[in-house]
Structure 1
Amino acid sequence: MPLPPSQKNSTPLNLLLRVPCSVFTMYAHIALLPILLSTVVLGSPLTRRESSPSTGQPTLIADITPYQDPARWAQAAYCTPKVGDTVNTAEVLWTHGDGTNVPLAYVAYSATKNRIVVSHQGTNTSSFESIENDLKANAVAPNSDLVSCLPSGSEVHLGFQETWDATGAAILSQVKSAQQLYPSASVLITGHSLGAAIAALDSAYFSCHGVDATTIIFGQPRTGNYVFSQSLNLQHVNNGKDPVPHLPPHGDDYWHSPGEVWISPANSNSLVACPGSENVNCAWSVPFYDYSTSDHLGTYAGVKIDGRGNC
């Protein structure tokens, strides 16, 4: 049921659901959905569309082990690692952030995997400053650091961009320093929830500064518009009926990139690769009334990501 143009930016539900991605606010969103259902159907296309959701059939992923280390490193970002700590075979080389206004991020090196790891913490739901990063849901033009890394016409989530900007250049510098020490090492970028959105921006930034990185992220909210999303080369893993990948709502301002991996049933080892973007046969297929907030802090390829609860 498309929105009439006159309602596109003014409906209560549209305004409400432009607030993404903390577990606290998700509960409020879902509780209020039945009251506002008469206004708009969640996930409905908006009036203008650059493209249509993919209808390709997902394929089963036979080997889920490539997702397990990234999930472990994503979880570790919630646990305030310090320089010199070992997190899943990787020695922490550098950290930044206070876990509130600036989510913790770390750079580490795993000799076992010969891999440089970048990981970002998700929302700290006990911190208003952290939640505020999610609430700034306006889609805006890329800032001066990102604009040369993204196609013309790109827009990104204001709060995610501001949060990324607090660490983006410093992390790139640390990764390049690590590459001088370990020139044959691969680079992995990961994160969960808000951390996944920041990692997606890292992915674009690293690419245009000559760093070849693999990006595997978990429970990512939509981070930018169609033009932005189609420029990304990453995998984003959605767990079952998690509401966060559906926020902010799909439309002109927000669109997921290709590379969706969907875990269904939730918390299982059944992972499928979803062709295209916003694939109607994957997370898109979950009706809003069936969302489960517990799937956001869930089990990804056999690895529990539970925020501070799993430290």
Structure 2
Amino acid sequence: MHTIASTLLVPLALWSLGALASPAAVPSANAPVRRAQVSSLTQMTSTQLNDLAPFTEFARAAYCSPSIVTGWQCGEACQAVPGFQVSLTGGDGDSIQYYYVGYWPTQNAVVVAHQGTDPTQFLSDLTDANIPMENLDPTLFPGVDSSVEVHSGFANEHAQTAPAILAEVKTLIAANNAQNVILVGHSLGGALAELECMFMALNLPSNIAIQGVTYGTPRVGNPAWASLFDSKITNFMRINNEKDIIPIVPGRFLGFSHVQGEVHIVSPGDAVECPGDDDATDGQCTIKTVPNVFEGDILDHLGPYQGIYIGTIYCT
């Protein structure tokens, strides 16, 4: 356990160093995913939590090498969602995170999943550390106002795969008359999935429903990004586990803000939906639970998310 914790602290340390170096910014499988868009703290039911399991397995599978994800032969994660049809894989797990695209027949949905940070891969860590914000590429995100800014490392990583993924998504929609596109990811993969939700919303027909489920996701952009995202993406959940540190970085003092949709797992089987973008009021939500990185537990980043762990070492 000590080795795992030490390894996971690498990207966190880089995030922290980047924060200190950066100038201050101006401040269900059987039911559709729904955003945790609530006006007050809301307890989740056991059924709601259990319905998230297929999405958790999709996020877990993204850590597996494309050589075994192709053909959906990645062990427990793939076995948990039988019948899923992978059509595109890519990435090297370092300069480009692993990703896959496929069709989920039982939901008539296209699924895109991105791998999170592998702390043993140097270029992956540098992506996390590239904290200064920048405008979105107007060729990928047409019509977005210049006030919207996002984490440079996340934006640059997303741009490397976005055209190929969009082309595959369009092909699968046409071939299957799919009505939904689901974006999933954990950690850095969650940040990429959040960007991809907006990217798909701006580049697909309006009749295609965009859904997102992310796990242990860091903050992606500024308040203008959060406002835009909240206005465009109506089905989204970002799930934080207990005292996970990653969802509180990069810090709000750097001008970052989460989007809506926080679900906080307080303890196994006990989770709440938190209102607003960055709920700093309710004691059961992440900011109050983990007020700073010294009061968190990096091992909670791996899970369990309703009994499922996510990370490179859990690709079995």
Give the equivalent residue in structure 1 for 2:56: 71
Q: CA RMSD in A?
A: 2.6
Asked if 1:293 is matched to 2:290, the reply is no
Alpha-carbon deviations, 1:261-292, whole Å to 9, x = none? 11102xx1212111111112210102323200
Q: Which amino acid aligns with 1:308?
A: I
Give the equivalent residue in structure 1 for 2:287: 284
**CA positional deviation for 1:187:** 1.8
Query: Conserved in 1, the CA contact under 8 Å of 2:38 and 2:274?
Result: no
Percent of residue pairs bearing the same amino acid type = 29
Give the equivalent residue in structure 2 for 1:112: 106
Relative to structure 1, the CA distance from residue 302 to residue 149 in structure 2 (aligned partners, 3 Å threshold; closer, same or farther) is: farther
Give the equivalent residue in structure 1 for 2:144: 150
As a proportion of its length, which structure holds more helix? 2
Q: Which amino acid aligns with 2:286?
A: A
TM-score, normalisation: structure 2: 0.79
Give the equivalent residue in structure 2 for 1:249: 251
Q: Specify every segment of 5 or more residues in structure 2 that has no aligned partner in the other structure, as ranges.
A: 1-6, 28-36
Query: Conserved in 2, the CA contact under 8 Å of 1:68 and 1:302?
Result: no
Q: Which of the residues 5, 8, 12 maps onto 1:26?
A: 12
Relative to structure 1, the CA distance from residue 243 to residue 206 in structure 2 (aligned partners, 3 Å threshold; closer, same or farther) is: same
Give the equivalent residue in structure 2 for 1:10: none
SS at match of 2:107: coil
Give the equivalent residue in structure 1 for 2:220: 223
Q: Which of the residues 258, 261, 266 maps onto 2:260?
A: 258
Q: Specify every segment of 5 or more residues in structure 1 that has no aligned partner in the other structure, as ranges.
A: 1-20, 33-38, 40-45
Query: Conserved in 2, the CA contact under 8 Å of 1:78 and 1:122?
Result: yes
Alpha-carbon deviations, 1:43-62, whole Å to 9, x = none? xxx8965xxxx995310111
Q: Which amino acid aligns with 2:299?
A: S
How many residues of Structure 1 are paired with residues of Structure 2 in the alignment?
272
SS at match of 1:26: helix
**CA positional deviation for 1:150:** 3.1
Q: Which of the residues 97, 101, 106 maps onto 2:95?
A: 101
| Partners of 1:74 and 1:159 in 2: CA distance | 20
Query: Conserved in 1, the CA contact under 8 Å of 2:191 and 2:217?
Result: yes
Relative to structure 1, the CA distance from residue 273 to residue 236 in structure 2 (aligned partners, 3 Å threshold; closer, same or farther) is: same
| Partners of 2:199 and 2:58 in 1: CA distance | 20
Alpha-carbon deviations, 1:125-146, whole Å to 9, x = none? 1111111111111111112334
Q: Which of the residues 236, 239, 244 maps onto 2:238?
A: 236
Q: Which amino acid aligns with 1:278?
A: D
Give the equivalent residue in structure 1 for 2:168: 174
Relative to structure 1, the CA distance from residue 309 to residue 149 in structure 2 (aligned partners, 3 Å threshold; closer, same or farther) is: farther
Asked if 1:272 is matched to 2:259, the reply is no
**CA positional deviation for 1:309:** 3.1
Give the equivalent residue in structure 2 for 1:58: 41
| Partners of 2:253 and 2:87 in 1: CA distance | 40
Asked if 1:128 is matched to 2:126, the reply is no
| Partners of 1:80 and 1:126 in 2: CA distance | 15
Query: Conserved in 1, the CA contact under 8 Å of 2:131 and 2:250?
Result: yes
| Partners of 1:201 and 1:47 in 2: CA distance | 20
| Partners of 1:141 and 1:47 in 2: CA distance | 13
Alpha-carbon deviations, 1:136-182, whole Å to 9, x = none? 11111112334425344000100000100111121111111001111
Asked if 1:85 is matched to 2:80, the reply is no
SS at match of 1:304: coil
Query: Conserved in 2, the CA contact under 8 Å of 1:55 and 1:279?
Result: no
| Partners of 1:255 and 1:132 in 2: CA distance | 21
SS at match of 1:79: coil
Query: Conserved in 2, the CA contact under 8 Å of 1:206 and 1:212?
Result: no
| Partners of 1:174 and 1:186 in 2: CA distance | 14
Query: Conserved in 2, the CA contact under 8 Å of 1:271 and 1:301?
Result: no
